[in-house]
Chain A
Amino acid sequence: MKAKKRMFLFIALAIMQLAVLLYMGWHWEDILQTGQRYTWNTAPVDPYDALRGRYVDLHFKEGKAPLLPNVNLKSGETAYAIIGEDEKGYAFVSGITDLRPAGNSYIKITIRYINGENIGFFTLPFKRYYMQESLAPRAEVAFRKNAGKDSTVSVRIKDGYGVVEELYIGDKTIYEYLQEE
Chain B
Amino acid sequence: MNKKAVAWLYEQLPELVEKGIIPGGSIELIQNHFGPVDKKFSSRTALTLFGLIGAVLIGLGIILIFAHNWEQLDKMARTVIAVGILLLGQSVAGIALWFKKDTAAWTESASAFLMVTIGASIAIIGQTYHIADDFSNYILIWMLVSIPVVYIMDVKTPALLYLIGVTIWVVTKETSDIDKQFIWILLAFLGPYYRKLVKIDAYANPIVLFSWIFIVCFYIAFGMAFGTYMTQLSFFIDANLVAITYFIGVLWFNETAKIWQMPFKVIGLIGCIGLSFLLTFQDIWLSLKVDYSSLGKMEIVLALLLLAITVFLGNKLVNRNQSRHLFLSAAPVIAGIGFLLLLLDDSGINAILLCNAYVLSLSVYFILRGIREGAIGTLNIGMLLVSALIIMRFLDANFSFVTRGLLFVVLGSSFLAANWIMVRRKKEVTK
- Tell me whether A21 and B69 are in contact (CB under 8 A): no
Query: Chain B 128-165 against A: per-residue CB contact (8 Å), 1 yes, 0 no?
Result: 11111110001001000100110011000000000000
Near B by CB (< 8 A), chain A positions 1-31 give: 3, 6-7, 9-11, 13-14, 16-18, 20-22, 24-25, 28-29
- Write the chain A residue with the least CB distance to B130: A164
Smallest Cβ distance from B224 to chain A, in angstroms?
Answer: 13
B92-122 contact mask (Cβ, 8 Å, vs A): 1 or 0: 0110011001000000000000000011111
B residues less than 8 Å from A51 (CB atoms): 63, 67, 119-120, 123, 138
Q: Quick one: closest B residue to A19, CB to CB?
A: B145
Tell me if B148 and A28 are in contact (CB < 8 A): no
Chain A residues lying within 8 Å of B68, measured Cβ to Cβ, are 53, 132-133
Chain B residues with CB under 8 A of A50: 67
Cross-interface CB contact of A17 among B69, B125, B145, cutoff 8 Å? B145
In the complex, A107 Cα to B82 Cα: how many Å?
A: 27
Binds B, one of A86-94, A98-106, A120-128, A143-151: A120-128
B196: min CB distance to chain A, Å? 12
Which residues of B lie under 8 Å from residue A112 when comparing CB positions?
Answer: 174
CA distance A20 to B83 in the complex (A): 11
- CA distance in complex: A73, B71 (Å): 41
Q: Give per-residue flags for A103-140: 1 if the beta carbon is below 8 A from chain B beta carbons, else 0.
A: 00000001010000000000001111111110100000
A112 to chain B, nearest CB (A): 8
Give A14 to B146 CA distance when docked, in angstroms: 10
Closest residue of B by beta carbon distance from A4: B98
In the complex the two chains form, what is the Cα distance from A127 to B70 in whole Å? Answer: 20
Contacts A3-B98, A29-B75, A51-B123; is A130 near B175 (CB within 8 Å)? Answer: no
A126 close to B132 (CB less than 8 A): yes
Name the CB-closest residue of A to B101.
A3
CB pair B118 A17 closer than 8 Å: yes
Known contacts A10-B152, A132-B68; A163/B98 CB under 8 A: no
How extensive is the interface on chain A, given as a class?
A: 35 or more
The answer to whether A130 and B130 have CB atoms under 8 Å apart is yes
Chain A residues lying within 8 Å of B293, measured Cβ to Cβ, are: none
Asked if A77 is an interface residue, CB under 8 A from chain B, the answer is: yes
Return chain B residues, CB-CB under 8 Å to A125: 132-133
A7-B97, A126-B132 are contacts. A132–B125 as well, Cβ < 8 Å? no
- The 8 Å CB contact of B67, one of A16, A32, A49, A164, is A49
Task: Verify B90–A110 contact, CB threshold 8 A.
Answer: no
In the complex, the chain A residue whose C-beta lies closest to that of B138 is: A51
CB of A55 within 8 A of CB of B130, answer: yes
Give the distance in Å from the alpha carbon of A32 to the alpha carbon of B27 in the complex: 76
Residue of A nearest to B91 (CB): A14
**A74 on interface, CB distance cutoff 8 Å:** yes
Does A37 belong to the interface (CB within 8 Å)?
no
Which residue of the partner chain, among A20, A76, A127, contacts B174 with CB atoms under 8 Å? A76
Q: Which residue of B lies closest to A126 (CB)?
A: B132
A21 touches B67 (CB 8 A): no
How near does chain B come to A45, taking the closest CB pair, in angstroms?
13
Give B70's nearest chain A residue, CB to CB: A132
A124 closest partner in B (C-beta): B132
Closest chain-A Cβ to B111's Cβ sits at a distance in Å of 10
Select B126's contact among A29, A52, A132, beta carbons within 8 Å. Answer: A52
Least CB distance from B161 to A in Å reads 14
Query: Is A64's beta carbon under 8 Å from chain B?
Result: no
B226 at the interface (CB under 8 A from A): no
- The answer to whether A54 has its CB under 8 Å from any CB of chain B is yes
Residues of A within 8 Å of B174, CB to CB, are: 76, 110, 112
List which B144-198 residues lie within 8 A (CB) of chain A.
Answer: 145, 148-149, 152-153, 174-177, 179
B352 at the interface (CB under 8 A from A): no
Interface presence of B234 (CB below 8 A): no
Q: Assuming the A-B contacts A17-B86, A18-B83, A131-B69, are A28 and B127 also in contact, with contact meaning beta carbons closer than 8 angstroms in the complex? A: no
Q: Is the CB of A133 within 8 A of B69?
A: yes
Q: For residue B126, which residues in chain A have a CB less than 8 angstroms away from its CB? A: 24, 52
Quick check: is B66 within 8 A (CB to CB) of the other chain? Answer: yes
CB distance from B92 to the nearest CB of A (A): 11
In the complex the two chains form, is B69's CB within 8 Å of A54's CB? yes
B97 CB contacts on chain A under 8 angstroms: 6-7, 10
> Are B130 and A128 in contact (CB-based, < 8 A)?
yes
- Quick check: B152 and A76 within 8 Å, CB to CB? no
Query: Which residues of B are in contact with A by a Cβ distance under 8 Å?
Result: 63, 66-71, 75, 79, 82-83, 86-87, 90, 93-94, 97-98, 101, 118-134, 138, 141, 145, 148-149, 152-153, 174-177, 179
Q: Measuring CB to CB, which residues of chain A are less than 8 angstroms from any residue of chain B? A: 3, 6-7, 9-11, 13-14, 16-18, 20-22, 24-25, 28-29, 32, 49-55, 74-78, 110, 112, 125-133, 135, 163-164, 175
Can you list 13 A-B pairs, Cβ within 8 angstroms, ordered by A? A3-B101, A9-B152, A10-B94, A16-B145, A17-B118, A24-B125, A24-B126, A76-B179, A127-B132, A128-B132, A131-B69, A133-B69, A163-B131
Additional A-B contacts beyond A3-B101, A112-B174 (4; CB < 8 A): A3-B98, A51-B119, A75-B176, A163-B131
Closest 5 CB pairs of A and B: A53-B67, A28-B129, A128-B132, A76-B176, A164-B130
